[in-house]
Amino acid sequence: MTFNDFGFDSQLMEGIEALGFETPTEIQAQAIPLVLKGNDLLACAQTGTGKTAAFLLPIIQKITEQKHDGFIKALIIVPTRELAMQIDQMMEGISYFTSVSSIAVYGGSDGSLFTREKQALSSGADVVISTPGRLKVHLGMEHVRVEKLEFLVLDEADRMLDMGFYDDIVKILSYLPEKRQNLMFSATMPSKIRELALKTLRHPSEINIAISRPAEKIKQEAYVVYDNQKIPLVKLLLKEKQYRSILVFCSTKQSVKDLNRELKRAGFNAEEFHSELEQRNREKVLLDFKNRKLNILVATDIMSRGIDVEDIDLVLNYDVPHDGEDYVHRIGRTARAESDGEACTFINEKEQGKFQRIEKLLGSPVFKAHVPKILGDTPAYTERSHDRRNGRRKFFQKGKKKPARQGGGGKKFIKP
């Protein structure tokens, strides 16, 4: 199958060819025909599977078949500013040879930016890509012309709920016309997503793209450590080998700040990336990282899906990711195309059960590397289970009844 098989307008095909798209990905091959038919859609697919083009292409095609009348035709809601900007950039590339217009609305402290957003929304850009909070403000002030809205896309729906946007989304839905085509994309499908789908979608078609496995070229390893050993271990690992581009994920903003501060003190070329940074600073940091002016980017987990950078040599999970999908998505930033890459995860005592669930999803254990002896004793990697007879958690380790300390980080591992 090629993109010619979808019957796209010739001007849209020019944009597709200019971007170098040749063969549709699995999510694109399944979703595009359904969207073109007018079906509501509930799709479970990771970031990185090509889902952005899976909804942009058919939406642009349908808009090109109409005359511009000054009303917004498509509304795409996303969790972060970075993702809004990323989708808007792809939108500009794909629609370059068409007359379809778009705007990214993502907020910030700049008053002039709000005024420009208001003007663009009032004049009726064809496609609006927005974060929930900013969009709710504009809708409340009646800046958004949604009377003739035809498409609503909720992208990264699970992440929006994780960030607490459920009530904002429900409020946004109350402003929109009842008759519209709804598309929801999510990397995971918890019960809360199903609940939101019931409020949003009408007899949807469903697509479930199975989680991909990490590329074989990615060298995966993990270190079992105490929390106070994490920063010293990062420094040792980065001094041991020269990496051109390193992406570090932390679970909290405080961890990002602490680690970034210590890396700078040690002379590393590092910057932090989290929601407290001003938008212009976030854009500069991300651009410097993409252009290799910045060697190390330390980011919060919640920002991970807004970072679109290729050719990363090392992905370091300073904390264990929330689930297997996030793990695969993160480490998939390295070993792109023909290059090799490394992925490293730090596991403290409390995160061992979580990491074992990730290993179970991967289908095999991740190699547990030696922690340098200079850092002292480390936790044993111990399989956890629950004793149903008395409800107490029990620990199981080869030849021992309870966890034991060992130096060197526990080279041996136990299958989950």
84-99 pLDDT, tens digit per residue, is 888 998 999 999 999 9
Distance separating alpha carbons of residues 234 and 247, to the nearest angstrom: 12
What are the pLDDT digits (tens) for 4-35?
A: 999 999 999 999 998 888 889 899 999 999 99
Nearest alpha-carbon partner for 317 in 389, 402, 259, 371:
259
Which of 93-97, 198-202, 206-210, 266-270 shows the lowest per-residue confidence on average (mean pLDDT)? 206-210
End-to-end CA distance of the chain: 40
The verdict on residue 202 lying in a domain is: yes
* CA angle 297–335–25, rounded 5-degree value: 105
Q: Are 312 and 334 in contact (CB under 8 A)?
A: yes
Phi-psi category of residue 214: left, alpha or beta, with phi > 0 → left and psi -120 to 50 → alpha = beta
- Four-CA torsion 165, 168, 170, 174, nearest 10 degrees: -160
Question: Is pLDDT at 349 greater than 50 in this prediction?
Answer: yes
Residues 44 and 79 in one domain: yes
The range of the structural domain enclosing residue 45 comes to 3-208
One domain, residues 178 and 291: no
Q: What is the largest CA-CA distance in the chain?
A: 74
Nearest to 207 by CA among 5, 12, 50: 50
Count of alpha carbons within 13 angstroms of residue 282, beta-carbon side: 20
Nearest C-alpha neighbor of 105 from the set 60, 71, 139, 68: 139
In a domain, 377, yes or no: yes
- Are 169 and 225 in the same domain? no
pLDDT band at 111 (very low <50, low <70, confident <90, very high): low
Tokens for 147? 């009377």
Q: Does any domain span residue 110?
A: yes
Angle (CA) 365-210-78 rounded to 5° is 110
Structure tokens at 184: 């929801």
Inside any domain, residue 412: no
The domain total for the chain is 2
Out of 163, 185, 208, pick the residue that ends a domain: 208
pLDDT for 411: 37
Q: Is residue 416 part of a domain?
A: no
pLDDT of residue 376: 95
Integer Rg of the chain from CA:
23
Q: Is the pTM of this model over 0.85?
A: no
pLDDT at position 335 is 54
Give the containing element (helix H, strand E) for 35: helix 26-37
Both 13 and 161 in one domain: the answer is yes
Please list the alpha-helical segments (H only) found in 103-210: 111-123, 132-140, 157-162, 166-175, 191-200
Q: Which of 294, 345, 340, 338 is nearest to 322 (CA)?
A: 345
SS3 call for 122: helix
Q: Which domain-ending residue is among 177, 208, 239? A: 208
Cβ(285)–Cβ(299) under 8 Å?
A: no
Whether 28 and 174 share a structural domain: yes
- The confidence score (pLDDT) of residue 384 equals 58
The least confident of 152-166, 266-280, 342-356, 374-388 is: 374-388
User: Is 394 inside a domain boundary?
Assistant: yes
Q: Are residues 137 and 170 in the same domain?
A: yes
Helices (H), 42-165: 51-64, 81-94, 111-123, 132-140, 157-162
Domain end point (choices 180, 208, 236) = 208
CA angle 408, 409, 413 (to 5 degrees): 120
The pLDDT assigned to 137 comes to 87
**pLDDT for residue 206 is more than 50:** yes
304 shares a domain with 155: no
In this model, does residue 392 exceed pLDDT 50?
no
Q: Are residues 226 and 77 in the same domain?
A: no
Q: What is the dihedral of CA 61, 67, 69, 74, to 10 degrees?
A: -10
**336 lies in some domain:** yes
Tokens of 400: 């021992």
Please determine, for residue 336, whether its predicted confidence score (pLDDT) is greater than 90. Answer: no
Amino acid residing at 392: R
Find the range with the poorest average confidence among 123-127, 286-290, 322-326: 322-326
Q: Where is pLDDT greater, at 249 or 189?
A: 249
Classify residue 303 by burial, with Cβ atoms within 10 Å: 0-12, 13-18, 19+.
buried
86 is a domain residue: yes
- Residues 168, 272, single domain; the answer is no
The predicted structure's pLDDT at residue 67: 82
Cβ neighbours for 156, distance < 8 A, ≥ 6 positions apart: 47, 78, 79, 83, 185, 186, 187, 305
- Look up the CATH number of the domain holding residue 131: 3.40.50.300
Is pLDDT at 406 greater than 90 in this prediction? no
Distance CA 102, CA 88 (A): 7
Are 49 and 73 contained in the same domain?
Answer: yes
Residue 132 three-state SS: helix
Average pLDDT, the chain: 84
Amino acid letter, residue 16 = I
pLDDT digit string, tens, across residues 165-201: 999 999 999 999 999 999 999 877 778 888 899 889 9
166 burial via Cβ count (<10 Å: 0-12, 13-18, 19+) = middle
Residue 155: name the closest of 182, 125, 190, 194 by CA. Answer: 182
**Hey, is 89 helix, strand or coil?**
helix
327 and 395 both lie in a single domain? yes
Same domain, 47 and 184: yes
What tokens does 77 get?
């809601």
Residue 345 has pLDDT above 60, yes or no: yes
Q: What is the C-alpha to C-alpha distance for residues 314 and 62, in angstroms, rounded to an integer? A: 41
For residues 314-326, average pLDDT: 85
Q: Is the pLDDT at 234 greater than 90, yes or no?
A: yes
Whether the per-residue pLDDT at 326 is higher than 90: the answer is no
What share of the chain has pLDDT > 70, as a percent? Answer: 84
